Amino acid sequence: MARPIDIVIEKVRRTYGAWRRNTPIEAMREDWDNLFWSDATGVVGEPVMAGGVDAMWIVAPGATRERVFLYLHGGGYRVGSIRSHFDLIARISAASGAAGFAINYRLAPEHPFPAAIEDVLTTCEWLVGQGVSLDHVALAGDSAGGNLALAGTLKLRAKGGATPAALVLLSPWTDLELRGKSYETRADSDPIHQRAMLAATAAGYLGGADPADPLASPLNAAFAGFPPMLIQVGDRETVLDDSRNLAAKAEAAGVSVQLEVWDEMIHVFQQFPDELDEAREAIAHIGAFLRERLL
């Protein structure tokens, strides 16, 4: 009998395996959304425009908009959307009692670096303009979205104003230079992401920009003064060291870091709560962390 994680892997592989070099990006985006879309929670989203950025409130029953997590979806900067991550955001809202706020930031290759980061900043400024203090806002994201959460915090810190109260990072892609040892040590165990694929994805996002720029590879940043972080990552991931190295560097700078490495789990396993007990447990951990940090 197949294990739940093997069922999930096969589900993801069917989507990836259908793509060819000539598959239109629009088709890939639709496939990605369909892979993850679910409205099983019954939560109804409220679309808004946040300073010109397509956005949506995703608020579970009983959650309050006085505490907010701004969720930045993953997808290698080229696929993914509010739709693909709706279910995960709704579940985090229910677990945390905080309102989810998600955006469709601009995607590459049409809008390369730093367009997505600019959209994060615009959204944060819009939230503040709506009377939401960043003291009560967490930035959350998975994979490329975790990168954007870190880059957005860097930009906010550079502006000299308030920064988010916390960061929630799920399998964050923090190093577009791809220097982690896990790109080799986990190559056989990661069923989805290999170094060559990620290198091509990074190049498509950067559009010729320097991957060493801390806004592109936040692992290269200085983290003094950063808010507390919760980092969750699967032990099978090639990007495992992106999380481990981030945690070590942030802790050395005095940042409170909670690093969770989940045995046998794959990239952003939290998106499969119907199949995986671990996904449901991880979401509960996120909820507890946000309840503690978003006072």
- pLDDT digits 0-9 by tens, 200-253: 999 999 999 999 999 999 999 999 999 999 999 999 999 999 999 999 999 999
Phi–psi pair at 207, nearest 5 degrees: 55, 35
Higher per-residue pLDDT: 144 or 16: 144
Q: Are strands 137-142 and 53-58 parallel, antiparallel or unpaired?
A: unpaired
How many Cα atoms are found within 13 Å in the side-chain-facing hemisphere of 120? 32
Q: State mean pLDDT over 256-280.
A: 98
Residue 16's pLDDT is 87
Residue 213's domain is classified under what CATH number? 3.40.50.1820
Q: State mean pLDDT over 37-57.
A: 97
Judged against a pLDDT cut of 90, whether residue 190 lies above it is answered with yes
Q: Is the pTM of this model over 0.95?
A: yes
Q: Give the active site residue among 96, 143, 171, 182.
A: 143
Judged against a pLDDT cut of 90, whether residue 122 lies above it is answered with yes
Residue 2's pLDDT is 86
Q: State mean pLDDT over 131-138.
A: 96
How many Cα atoms are found within 13 Å in the side-chain-facing hemisphere of 174? 27
- pLDDT digits 0-9 by tens, 50-98: 999 999 999 999 999 999 999 999 999 999 999 999 999 999 999 999 9
For the chain, how many structural domains are there in total?
1
Q: State mean pLDDT over 250-268.
A: 98
| 172 secondary structure, DSSP code | -
pLDDT-derived band at 119 (thresholds 50, 70, 90) equals: very high
- % of the chain beyond a pLDDT of 70: 100
DSSP string, 84-145: HHHHHHHHHHHHHSEEEEEE----TTTS-TTHHHHHHHHHHHHHHHTT--GGGEEEEEETHH
Q: State mean pLDDT over 146-170.
A: 96
How many Cα atoms are found within 13 Å in the side-chain-facing hemisphere of 264? 10
**Which of these, 83, 68, 27, 231, lies nearest to 143 by C-alpha position?**
231
Average pLDDT, the chain: 97
Q: Is 143 a catalytic residue?
A: yes
pLDDT-derived band at 170 (thresholds 50, 70, 90) equals: very high
Residue 260's pLDDT is 98
Judged against a pLDDT cut of 90, whether residue 192 lies above it is answered with no
Angstrom distance (rounded) from CA 7 to CA 77: 26
Domain range spanning residue 78?
Answer: 4-293
Judged against a pLDDT cut of 90, whether residue 295 lies above it is answered with no
Judged against a pLDDT cut of 80, whether residue 274 lies above it is answered with yes
